[in-house]
Each structure stands twice: as C-alpha cells, then as structure tokens.
Amino acid sequence: AQKVTQAQTEISVVEKEDVTLDCVYETRDTTYYLFWYKQPPSGELVFLIRRNSFDEQNEISGRYSWNFQKSTSSFNFTITASQVVDSAVYFCALSGMNSGYSTLTFGKGTMLLVSP
Amino acid sequence: EAGVVQSPRYKIIEKKQPVAFWCNPISGHNTLYWYRQNLGQGPELLIRYENEEAVDDSQLPKDRFSAERLKGVDSTLKIQPAELGDSAVYLCASSARDRGSYEQYFGPGTRLTVT
C-alpha cells in the first residue's frame, strides 16, 4: 500500500518569506515517481514537477526548489520569496512501479496563504 | 495546446436525480482518469481508461456510477441516482502513458452539490 503524508494542513506567511512544504511517503515499490501539484482557488490541479526515485538530485526552477531524500522518504518543496499568487493548496503525490505508474496517491494537501 | 476540458463547471441537483459530467482530454493522450475530490482531501481515483478500455474501475461505486469513453477520446461520468454524499469536485485528467509520460494533467473539475 502507498501513503503520502502532508502533516502541515495550513501555512500562513507574509510576502517575500521563504516557505517549505513537507511531504513524507511510504511505498513498497523499489521504483516510483513523486509529484507536486498546485491547486489555486480556481480548482484546477497544476502539475509542477515529477521526480524519479533513482534521481536524488535537488531541483530548482525559478523560485521553486525540491529536496528529495530517499533515506527519510521525504520530498519537500520550498518556495523562495513567496508571492501572493503562490496562495493555493499544494499536493504531493506518489506513483509506483507495481501499478505501472498508473495510480496517483495524493496527500491531503497543504494550504498556503501568502499575505501582502 | 488546449488543456483538459470539463463541463459543466458547477451542478446543483436534488438527491435521487441523475447527473452527468463530460471530459475532453488533451489531444493525443491515450489515458483518461476520473477522480473525486472531497473537501479538504486529495483526489481519489474512480476509474482509469487506456484508450476506450476501462482498465481500473475498482474504486467506482458501480451501483450508481457509470462511465464511458467512446472512440477513446472524450468521456462521460454518470451518477444515477445521486446521494447527498456524492457532493464533491469531480476531476478529469489525462496523460500520455503510452509514450512513457506519467504526469497527469487535470481539468478544472465539476463541483457537484446534491441537496
């Protein structure tokens, strides 16, 4: 069975602060993919990143960065210099090899509120 | 490139009434998913199509839910009759799994309210 835990239900920051969203996962698959999605108030889930379990290199994309640590089963997401437009619910998700990478298991999401 | 299209965006019905949701995936994506998202939760898979074949419908409540994907393109999800507990956002997603692309792209969803 797969499980994704996002322990932070809601985070509030002031614009320009850095913020880290935590994601811890459980899986018996030896190979898997991890994802982050953003869900703004409009409701559409927006794909942000996919990470293969063999690739533990950290990734940076503009103000976004991701820290994948297999030893602690974590895939954390950091937003640098947050902006009001970053306000959304962020979901971490997992897809394992045994399902042919067909099934996404989502966490419950972290609501990020960025105030001016 | 157009994204996943869903309609309607909102639907309010009385319990025991039927309701249908429509989805048009990204052009060329062979895999189509229907998810249900309850308030404060992540999406949960209802059914997955590979082309026109439903290959995973284990989480679909088959007594009242049905789905089809004729010609392997757009899809319809139906509930008949609706119950109060069906109030949720119904999300459609697509991916190009046949090309080894595992990220799923989601539509805006249909927010269903059953009164």
CA distance A101 to chain B (A): 7
> C-alpha distances in angstroms, B50 versus A18, B47, B53, B98?
41, 10, 5, 9
- Using one digit for the tens of pLDDT, what is the confidence trace for B29-66? 999 999 999 999 999 999 999 999 999 998 999 999 99
- Cβ–Cβ of B106/A101 closer than 8 Å? no
- Cβ–Cβ of A37/B91 closer than 8 Å? no
CA distance A108 to chain B (A): 5
Instruction: Report the residue of A4, A9, A49, A102 to disrupt the B interface, i.e. the one with the largest count of B CBs within 10 Å.
Output: A102
Among chain B residues, the shortest Cα distance to A33 is held by B102
Q: How far apart are CA A106 and CA A109, in angstroms?
A: 8
Q: How far apart are CA A93 and CA B43, in angstroms?
A: 10
Report the pLDDT value the prediction gives residue A103, as an integer from 0 to 100: 86
Is A81 a residue whose pLDDT tops 90? yes
Dihedral over Cα of A1, B57, B77, B6: its sign: positive
Note whether B114 and B15 are within 8 A (CB): yes
